Amino acid sequence: MSMEIPALDALFETHEFGRGTLRNRFVMAPMTRMFSPQGVPTADVCAYYRARARGGAGLIITEGTYINHPAANGEPRIPAFHGARPLEAWKRIVDAVHEEGGMIIPQIWHYGLMRRPGVEPDPSVPGYSAMAIEENGETVVRQMTQQDIDDAVSAYAEAAEAAERLGFDGVELHGAHEYLIDNFLWEKTNRRSDRYGGSIENRTRFAVEVVSAVRRAISRDFPLVLRFSQWKQSDYAARIAATPDELKRILMPIAEAGVDYFDASTRRFWEPAFEGSPLTLAAWTAKITGKPVMTVGSIGVERAFTVQDEGAGVKPSYARLTDLVEGLKRSDFALAGVGRALLSDPDWVNKIRDRRFAEIRPYERAAHETLVV
């Protein structure tokens, strides 16, 4: 098998990231884990992140952590990123990752229209989003007022400031996959007629305001990453941009507001983003903005995921490592996000580095039900 694997040296080159240096280009992608009762990460969660740092990941992006807004959470046992106890737990995780030679940033998150009443911490609170949603005659998602928008923007900034204070190495905003920032960006979930809806520029305004507020709350050399996607949980074929020009109209104002890196979330990192061009979403993002980009999507596994994927024993796949190396050399992206492969095997990066492919544990859906260390 080793003869089929390309030279991987480029993936193990260092990369300057804010105030530090990543030891390689592999990033643990953010993946929701529900192991934080009352929003507080446990010792097991700390061990889980420590194991991925010890296993070689250059940068870890945490699971989504919800900001200090009444409707920010949407599932039980999701970690919070506000309040004394959750932040103390995150500080322990930061220290553990640093002790293993890794770097770590939190993904700060608002559930947006995906939330429904009945969820902690206050079951009476509906979802908040760009537009209202009614189900069976009940308003389950509230259209945000200007005050609601201002409150959410402030909460994002508060979380980012806390990330820097706790010693994280940067911060990521979750602007993808049908959550709050994405709700404003996607025309299907933003039917507003005010300054936050209608045109692409108006739909981008909320993201710009969040990025601007976060940028003011953190230091200039504290990296700010934005995750965005075309696909949605309810529609894999969805697009916030139908053409490269539309993508430019979305990304450039966000970049100019203060984003340092883009995390271009796709289901298959190698696929072209638009007809008529071989460029991927990551490559288009780098070309448009001039910013470094993280690519992500089915790296190291045999098939792309579905949200309801119940498959077991998904075999490791190395056929696309050639594409990964070539894309990195072309500067299509600077970093490579690895998701499911790292759920089942915390040592995946080190095993790839050492070409111990036969020792890699295949991805199992069961890894979602526990914290493999």
pLDDT at 288 over 80: yes
pLDDT at residue 300, rounded to an integer: 85
Residue 243 in tokens: 């053409």
Average pLDDT of span 116-134: 96
Query: If 0-12 CB within 10 Å is exposed, 13-18 middle and 19+ buried, where does residue 241 land?
Result: buried
Considering Cα of 11, then 13, then 18, then 19, what sign does the dihedral take? Answer: positive
* Pairing of β 138-143 and β 133-135: antiparallel
Query: How much of the chain, in percent, has pLDDT values that exceed 90?
Result: 88
pLDDT at residue 272, rounded to an integer: 97
Rounded to the nearest integer, the mean pLDDT of the chain is 94
pLDDT at residue 320, rounded to an integer: 83
pLDDT at residue 315, rounded to an integer: 56
Q: What is the largest CA-CA distance in the chain?
A: 62
User: Rounded CA gap, 264 and 187, in Å?
Assistant: 19
Q: Choosing from 48, 49, 179, 363, which is the catalytic residue?
A: 179
pLDDT at residue 307, rounded to an integer: 43
pLDDT at 27 over 80: yes
pLDDT at residue 358, rounded to an integer: 86
Spell out the domains of the chain, with CATH numbers in brackets.
2-369 (3.20.20.70)
DSSP conformation class of 1: -
User: Rounded CA gap, 346 and 26, in Å?
Assistant: 13
Q: How does pLDDT run across 300-320, given as a tens digit for each residue?
A: 886 554 444 444 455 556 768
pLDDT at residue 357, rounded to an integer: 87
Tokens 């796949």, residue located: 317
pLDDT at 214 over 70: yes
If you average pLDDT over each of 248-262, 294-308, 315-329, 351-365, which comes out highest?
A: 248-262
pLDDT at 2 over 70: no
User: Rounded CA gap, 150 and 253, in Å?
Assistant: 19
Q: How does pLDDT run across 156-202, given as a tens digit for each residue?
A: 999 999 999 999 999 999 999 999 999 999 999 999 999 999 999 99
Residue type (1 letter), 212: S
pLDDT at residue 303, rounded to an integer: 57
Q: How does pLDDT run across 91-120, given as a tens digit for each residue?
A: 999 999 999 999 999 999 999 999 999 999
Average pLDDT of span 200-225: 98
- Is 179 among the catalytic positions? yes
pLDDT at residue 5, rounded to an integer: 67
pLDDT at residue 305, rounded to an integer: 45
* pTM metric for this prediction: 0.95
User: Rounded CA gap, 310 and 3, in Å?
Assistant: 32
